[in-house]
Structure formats: structure tokens, C-alpha cells
Amino acid sequence: MVLDPGHQLGNRNFPREINRLVPAGRGQRKPCNTTGAATDGGFPEATFTWRVARLVQKRLEAQGARVVLTRQSNRDDRWGPCVDRRGRAGNRAHADLMLSIHADGSYAAGARGFHVITLPERKASARLAREVRSSLRRAGVPVANYVAGGDGLDERTDLATLNLSRVPTAMVELGNMRDRRDARRMRTARGRASYARALSRAIAAELR
């Protein structure tokens, strides 16, 4: 399986590289990558998703799974990979599924909670998304109150990570980094472990 821990930490230092347009599927082109979000205190999405992804990787590998990450570092002197490469990562690895891990950066008042994104027409991806949603709910993570109609599931056709993947794929926004309650969970080792346990359980259920 493939884990995609979102944005590289150093993306902000490489504006020319990350703003280059790349294929995004369905005839679209998008910037290679973005800088990602951050908490009001400056804790970056790249570091949060990297730490969660590594925890998920460790848990799944202990259960015998083969786990591939779309990036191998979280460094200020690195950028990418581009969204088209990330989207095709599951294809290259002949993976059973792919999960892309992110966090949102909404400034909407009171916005908090997680949501899971899939393509509208892919049943296997929708099943993965529902499993991720159920597992996060059971872990006590609140469902987003500002997007996806309040049910935690969103359908989009503008994301290269989803469009270019030929394996079951979902993207999860684990919370809103601008919300102090979500940010508190993201900043702490205990909070990140709770996300990782929930994601690991969802993936393991889909891999059975």
C-alpha cells in the first residue's frame, strides 16, 4: 500500500519548482505542489502529516504490510514530489490502495473536524473513504462542520492525487490546523498517535 504524507517541508523555499504546472487528470493542469497549511503557532502541515504517516507505516509494517511513502524525508532543503507523481505512486507500486494524509487551513470561524475526499464514480475508493471516516469517528475525532455537508465525505474531481490513481485512493484532511482544538491534537504525540491508530485500523480492514 502507499501512504502520501502531503507536502514537503521545504516547498516554501522552492516557489519556481512547486508552481510549475503538471498534469492533474481529466484534462486539467495544476501547480506541482503547495506549501501546505500550518497552525497559528507555526506548526506545519508537512511535519504533522509526515509524523502521522510514519506512525501508520510502523503499525502496518508490524502487521506484515508492505508500505511505500511518496516522500522519504521532511526537510527544509527538499521540495515535492509533484501532485502528478504522487497521484501515480500507487500505480507504480502496484499497491492495493493509497491514502493521502493532509490537514486543512480554513479561516472560517469555528471550522474544525476531519473530512475524507474521493472521486464520485469509484466504488472501491468510496468504500475506503467510508472505512476511514468510521475509524476516525470511533477514535473520537470530530467530523468537519464546515465542508462536505457535515457527513465527513466529500467528492471532488479536481485533485491529481485522486484523478491519476488507478488503485483505490482516498484523501483525508484530518482536521483544521487553524482551529485551536484540532491544532492541540495535531501538535501532541498523543494526538498524532490517535490519528495513526484510526488510520491504521481503517487500512488494515480494507487490506483483509
Q: Provide CB contacts within 8 A for 78, sequence distance 6+.
A: 8, 9, 10, 71
**Backbone CA torsion sign across 128, 28, 52, 105:** negative
Beta strand residue intervals within the chain, DSSP E: 2-4, 21-25, 28-31, 68-69, 98-104, 115-118, 153-155, 169-176
Q: How far apart are CA 158 and CA 181, in angstroms?
A: 29
120 to 68, 154, 163: CA distances (angstroms):
26, 9, 11
Candidates 101, 181, 180, 87; CA nearest to 141 is 181
Q: How far apart are CA 153 and CA 114, in angstroms?
A: 9
Q: Does 173 qualify as catalytic in the annotation?
A: yes
C-alpha cell at 148: 462536505
Residue keyed to cell 480494507: 206
Q: Exactly one of 45, 121, 155, 173 is catalytic; which is it? A: 173
- Write out the catalytic residue numbers: 173
